[in-house]
Amino acid sequence: MPNKKEIEIVKEWCKKTKAGRGGRIYIIERNPFKEEMDWMRNKVLIEIDRPKEVADKHSLVYDSTTDLLWEYMNGTWRRIEPDEKKIGRE
């Protein structure tokens, strides 16, 4: 699972991508972190501000209104949180 630093890197990328696209309702991009972050390996796309109800279950979803990352696991969307064991390792 991700550490806090990795989560922040992904969130910052999402914010920067959204800002660069103007007033779009939602954005779907290929995952640029597949090679560098193990926990992102199976996520083909990153969907920014796309409702979870219609988002691809193999994507990572970023919600800018709550500043949270979501992934689909075991039949439900769950919030991605830092692995407490990895916080000290960087």
The token duo for 78 is 């769950």
Query: Can you tell me the distance from the alpha carbon of 44 to that of 36, in angstroms, rounded to the nearest whole number?
Result: 13
The DSSP code sequence of 36-52 is T-GGGTT--EEEES--T
The token duo for 15 is 């914010």
Type and span of the H or E element at 72? strand 68-73
Residues 6-58 pLDDT 10s = 999 999 999 999 999 887 789 999 999 999 999 999 999 999 999 999 999 99
Q: How confident is the model at residue 85 (pLDDT cuts 50, 70, 90)?
A: low
- Whether residue 14 contacts residue 46, with contact meaning beta carbons closer than 8 Å, is answered with yes
The four Cα atoms 63, 16, 31, 75 give a dihedral, to 10 degrees, of: -10
